[in-house]
Chains A and B, each alone.
Chain A
Amino acid sequence: MIRFLISRLVQFPLILAAIYLVTFFMAWVVPGDPFQKTDKNLSPQALMQRRREFHAENWRTFLVYYSGRVVRHADFGQSMQYDEWSVNDILKSALPVSITLGLFALIVALLGGVGLGTVAAVRRDGLLDWLSLSIALIGVSLPGFVAAAMLFIFFTAKLHWPPIGEWGHLRDLVLPGVALALLPMAYIARLTRVSMLDILGNDYVRTARAKGLSRGVVIWKHALRNALLPVLSYLGPAAAYTLTGSFVVEKVFNIPGLGQHFVNSILNRDRTMILGTVIVYSFFLLTFNLLVDVSYAFVDPRIDVTSDRGDA
């Protein structure tokens, strides 16, 4: 276990560095100029000067300067699009918002998904199964921007709940949280249902039932824990995705989170910002995957995490 942890921790920065390099080159080769921001053209000299300010005359200077900064000070530099703000400033302002919303969504997705999935599995073939499955499938069958916009129109615009205003109230979390939770909830429900069915057919469950234990106790005590293992491994990427914000949900509900910057930084060719957002996302993903692996041991000590989980 210790050896496994150490090898993962050694790989961690290496993979992060590789991701940084790949992102850097992709961001560099894409056509379009980050400094040409309006329909009014900057003179070539002015453009050159702006590039110099950002050490972006050519890819070498840019790479050397910024990777040095990132390693030494964890500083991603100024944003090329938002002149007054450094990438760190933006992360500091946007990330907590996204994390709050993402955590809320994650809890909704987890409780809702496991609930729906369990109900579906226990009442197999019944109305509840089809109903919960349909709810789950709507989550994956509608484009996110349509689902979120419909939620906004029906609740906020028509019913005036929650009342519109500045971001900061607890109630502001609910609608965007649900919108953000739809997709992971659908997957969790399906995962739970499949593995639950698998487990309910197992001998030890039948034995427990035969022992005279009530249905609820069997499901709660014996089945659910094992059925949740696949959900746990999905939680890693799901957490990274929800916690770093979603472009669609933030756009529809006007939330000052990080998700919009993933897309906008690319569309604006804001190269420093692209690197910043990608590294944050990758850091989250790698961390959560590591946490998931470790928590496997915690939830079910029988599992040998050190074997490479090929099918994960």
Chain B
Amino acid sequence: MSAAAIPRLNAPVATNLAAPPDRLWRRVLASRRATFGGGGLLLIILLCFGTLPWTWEGSSSAVQYNRQHDQFSRLPPSSSGRPADIDLSAWNERETKLAGYEIRSRLGHVWRWLGTDTQARSLLGRCLFGGVISLSIGFAAAAISVTLGVAVGLIAGYRGGWVDATLMRIVDVLYGLPYILLVILFRIAFEGARPKWMSMLFKDSSMSMVVLFLAIGLVSWLTMARVVRGQVLSLRAQPFIEAARAAGIPERRIFLHHLLPNLVGPIIVYASLTIPSAILQESFLSFLGVGIQSPLPTWGSLASDGLQPALNTIHSDWWLLLFPCTLLAFVLLCLNFLGDGLRDVFDPRNEAAKI
């Protein structure tokens, strides 16, 4: 949401970690929070991606994300296909139509489970498909930010000297810019002048997704860079690295075999915290009207579209906000739990923090 979205954590992260992988796994599984978070996340991922054959663009199913169901806009959620349970006394014509409305689909009336949106599309389909996009943006943006952050942090920390000074001053300057400004400007600038190579690589319709996660990824690597640099600095001063140097082990080998493995912990922890903030940032951009290109949905854009009709004191179409928001909040909660849990796992000193 802002510069504050990623805290400048003085994270008590491991500096000396070389636990064998199987023990790590056991610890991850033993951490209740990590398992809860990871399990929940996996569940949602399976649900959203598993239903893709029905919800994606080319499907003819009733829950296809952009399929309009005649005139049945703003139908409340219902598990029944029968029209009798719908309070449509105001619009008799609509009621009769619904009685005659048959959906040729093996899914029956599943499309109505979460109600329909203002344009008579199945909210269930949109939520599921929106999840695919939200999660993809979150993961892709996090991947960019992690790659960039780790690269800059490693180089700065390891090289030191003027390279470090220059890179860190650049980070300082970017850090001083309001996050909102950066991301909106990136978003608008990419949109306005799409580089040729981008149009060649991506289809136009998926373009807006690429632009979005590039914009988010390119602004959220700063904290990662600082964290990694700090870790490298403190590692470099550790006796075992100095010993390796003294033993004449080549730089590259020290780098790959001694430094990197010890950085995996903090990187994983921060990456798992970057994903939820990227998803949140996407929702904020949707709220500002510079989010994903419609008709593609994301949880954020569904929530911001549902805000007005749902939070309306005169009459509330509550389902338009409740379902996308619940999904969004649940996934963010899972990701945060996962991140916290992983932090506990990767920080052997901090036995107490494990729940």
Contact = CB atoms under 8 A, between A and B. Distances in A.
A237 B288 contact: no
Nearest to A232: B10
B333 A137 contact: yes
A153 B176 contact: no
A230 B9 contact: yes
B185 A266 contact: yes
Contacts of B192: 30-32
Given A145-B304, A310-B229, A140 B177 contact: no
Contact of A149 (B172, B307, B336, B337): B307
A210 interface: no
Interface string A202-239: 00000000000000000000000000011001101110
A262 B185 contact: no
A141 B332 contact: yes
A198 B350 contact: yes
Interface stretch (A89-97, A169-177, A188-196): A188-196
B173 A18 contact: yes
B179 to A, nearest CB: 9
Contact size class for A?
Answer: 35 or more
Interface string B209-251: 0000000000000000011011101100000000000000000
B321 interface: yes
Interface stretch (B57-65, B85-93, B276-284): B276-284
B189 interface: yes
Nearest to B183: A266
Nearest to A241: B4
Interface residues of B, number: 65
Interface stretch (A20-28, A60-68, A76-84): A20-28
Interface in B1-43: 1-5, 7-12
A197 interface: yes
A46 interface: no
B173 A19 contact: yes
A197 B353 contact: yes
Contact of A312 (B10, B184, B287, B307): B10
Contacts of A157: 313
A285 interface: yes
B328 interface: yes
A278 B226 contact: no
B352 interface: yes
A230 B349 CA distance: 17
Contact of A262 (B157, B181, B333): B181
Given A19-B173, A32-B188, A143-B283, A237 B3 contact: yes
Contacts of A244: 178
Contact of A247 (B5, B169, B180): B180
Given A233-B10, A266-B184, A310-B226, A124 B177 contact: no
Contacts of B229: 310
B264 interface: no
Considering residues A142, A248, A274, which has the most beta carbons from chain B within 10 angstroms of its beta carbon? A142
Contacts of A278: 177-178, 181
A237 B4 CA distance: 6
Contact of B176 (A15, A129, A137, A187): A15
B188 A31 contact: yes
A124 to B, nearest CB: 7
Contact of A311 (B3, B226, B276, B330): B226
A183 interface: yes
Nearest to A145: B287
20 contacts: A15-B176, A22-B177, A26-B182, A30-B188, A143-B304, A144-B1, A150-B311, A158-B313, A197-B350, A198-B349, A200-B352, A242-B4, A248-B284, A263-B180, A266-B185, A285-B176, A286-B176, A310-B233, A310-B234, A311-B11
Top 10 A-B pairs ranked by shortest CB distance?
Answer: A310-B230, A311-B230, A31-B192, A282-B176, A141-B332, A230-B10, A241-B4, A201-B352, A143-B283, A141-B329
